[in-house]
Chain A
């Protein structure tokens, strides 16, 4: 029981990170119908930007309050990552819009290779580790000589995720921008006819996706305390799995999918074999794709001639 509760806590934390990345996949897929392969690497880049910002704040400026530092790091990382993703869309994807099906996918794979190698060259191939920001933990319950703990890191991740999801939900469902996005998702040509700037809406979608990935990247850095240039791929694929599981194109689906993947991964590690936890996540991807291609909350795809 105690192990279960502990893994539940860990799983929700991990799932929040996956969910934030998954939203990026699902939004981009919804609006331009491409799998943004480079999104996992954008997430990794954001973790590196957060690392640099954190080091500037702690070692150069010597900021005292960790919460304040984290807030600044978050904003810096979101800003710069958004800039990176905006540029990627502009340079690598926009010229290929309306081109044949595989072109943007190949371009995205190229971008993914470029980003991870750029970080490797610019920052070196080693793992970068930071000392834990919050040392303390809260003991939630204990029994059988096992303490179930909840760290401040995890609380911070939960709160930030919840707040951002709220803000994001408001943005998509209540504002003019969100309406424009949903219109572009349904029919780009028609949206353009009624006066929506489609290019701008797509750009903003990439910016939002990157900002959410940056939150996930910062959280990843704070939670694990280590990041390397190769860290984009596996979380990226798992987040994509989450997006597919929840129903690609559906925003609440992405979050639910993320939480499920996080839970499956931690539970699998606890009860089965930690070596095969990635296999479990990938298998879910395969099984979902085969038996439930529309996902939990997605709409079934209608085939048209």
Chain B
């Protein structure tokens, strides 16, 4: 008898798993039937006709069913068993993490500083351009934006879905002022930051009474209004066509050209376009680290503490006599200022800007980085930015997939698709983000991180 029981139990499990798999397959069939099995294409006369893709439909349904089957038979029982086990003390892995974590920050910092040198050494001057530009600079722009937004969302707890508006203010401010008045990057950088901060206060004022989702929606509307104005105010912004020919950055007056007064000629080295990329890399690295340093310092100032108190409980804040209006406005202005810096860097790096770069999707991506990384955690946010932007950039490079799926397979198409899917998955897996523990900025006797279980946001 004793031997039979597990056998019958596993048979029941199998039957149940098969039933679940069948239901999932049916559901997947229903979901994919209209838009996967049929594809609308234009024929020669420009009329829409339908093509069918039954093999693709059945492949997808098969994949979904297989995933469900494995989940039911292997993963679900394993998780159930694990849940039954008594909670253990932090294991060896957790202790190891604790041991290396003081070293992690200097190590990462060292890595990002030598990164261009490494790229040059490993990939050569030709190959390194891609690694420095697409990966290094691109990722660092987003890290900086995410750190800037982290002040608003992570520290002050104000969900801002229109952050990209301030990025646009910075970019357009730089582009227009540099083109019209010929001012240099170093003058315009603080100016663009100030303008963006000004806009932050301007847009922050009316929305101060709102909270949570409402605030998110209003800031999103502001972001969209900004973009629509940029599109339609053609006399100033040149509309959809954008602004091109924005002055490129110079090395404190030395342009990165092959000319005699250029950077290379002055220093007596051979001209190479990679010089500019390396300069841009260190520029954005400096800006990003500046953002991080300011944020870390601000957290210890009264205003930073007020931000975090506001995030945890607004009513308690008011009861304690914190001026919530000023606190929220400073958070908005600080966040916007860093977006303005990033925007002017973006403009000088691209040499061309158009409203297409400042869509709602950008805002959503930056917010996603902050939330997925763990609101308020600098390292977590940076990791999320690296994973999300680096991951999607790597999709461009995966020629391996072409061998698997055929030559006309274009991995870049699936970038945003996977991106959205990953956002949902990470939220389900870790709703509080990758690093959800809170590091206190003031403590008694011993510094202890606040575990995620104790973190509770108010309705900020």
Contacts and interface: CB of A to CB of B under 8 A. Distances in A.
Interface of A: 34-35, 45, 48-49, 51-53, 55-56, 59-60, 76, 80, 83-84, 87, 91-92, 95-96, 99-103, 105-107, 109-115, 117-124, 126, 128-131, 233, 237, 240-241, 244, 273, 275-276, 278-279, 282-283, 285-286, 289-290, 293, 303, 305
Contact of A290 (B49, B209, B213, B360): B209
28 contacts: A48-B40, A49-B34, A52-B38, A59-B49, A87-B27, A92-B428, A96-B428, A100-B456, A102-B371, A102-B375, A102-B457, A105-B159, A106-B368, A107-B423, A107-B424, A109-B423, A110-B422, A112-B364, A113-B361, A115-B420, A123-B39, A237-B220, A282-B228, A286-B207, A286-B221, A290-B207, A290-B209, A303-B315
Residue from A76, A103, A303 having most chain B Cβ neighbours under 10 A: A103
B431 A99 contact: yes
B35 A129 contact: no
Max chain B Cβ within 10 angstroms of own Cβ: one of A45, A92, A126, A289:
A289
Contacts of B229: 279
A287 to B, nearest CB: 9
B375 to A, nearest CB: 8
Contacts of A117: 414, 416-417, 419-420
A168 to B, nearest CB: 24
Nearest to A285: B221
Q: Is the interface of A mostly helix, strand, loop or mixed?
A: helix
A53 B413 CA distance: 26
Given A49-B34, A102-B159, A109 B40 contact: no
Identify the 9 closest CB pairs spanning chains A and B, nearest first.
Answer: A110-B423, A114-B420, A113-B420, A103-B431, A117-B417, A99-B431, A110-B424, A282-B221, A275-B232
Contacts of A105: 159, 213, 216
Nearest to B415: A117
Nearest to B458: A101
Contacts of A102: 159, 371, 375, 457
Given A96-B428, A233-B360, A305-B315, A52 B217 contact: no
Contacts of A128: 40, 48
B48 A130 contact: yes
Interface in B41-71: 41-42, 47-50
- Listed residue (B50, B159, B427) with the most chain A CB atoms within 10 angstroms of its CB: B427
A87 B31 contact: yes
Contacts of B395: none
Nearest to B417: A117
Given A80-B33, A113-B364, A276 B232 contact: yes
Given A113-B423, A244-B217, A279-B228, A290 B361 contact: no
Contacts of A290: 206-207, 209-210, 218
Contacts of A92: 424, 427-428
B104 interface: no
B313 to A, nearest CB: 9
Contact of B423 (A56, A59, A106, A279): A106
B408 to A, nearest CB: 13
Nearest to A277: B228
A279 B228 CA distance: 7
B47 to A, nearest CB: 8
B386 interface: no
B391 interface: no
A25 to B, nearest CB: 10
Contacts of B419: 110, 113, 117
B60 to A, nearest CB: 10
Contacts of A286: 206-207, 218, 221-222, 225
Given A129-B48, A282-B228, A112 B31 contact: no
Contacts of A95: 428
Most B CB within 10 A of own CB, among A53, A91, A106, A130: A106
Contacts of B125: none
Contacts of B443: none
Q: Most chain-B CB neighbours within 10 Å: which of A52, A56, A293?
A: A52
A199 B422 CA distance: 25
B18 interface: no
A109 B364 contact: yes
Given A55-B50, A109-B367, A122 B218 contact: no
Contact of A106 (B30, B416, B427): B427
Contacts of B435: none
B368 A109 contact: yes
Nearest to B208: A290
A47 to B, nearest CB: 11
Contacts of B50: 52, 55-56, 59-60
A55 B206 contact: no
Interface string B357-389: 000110010011001100100000000000000
Nearest to B30: A83
B440 to A, nearest CB: 19
A114 B30 contact: no
A114 B371 contact: no
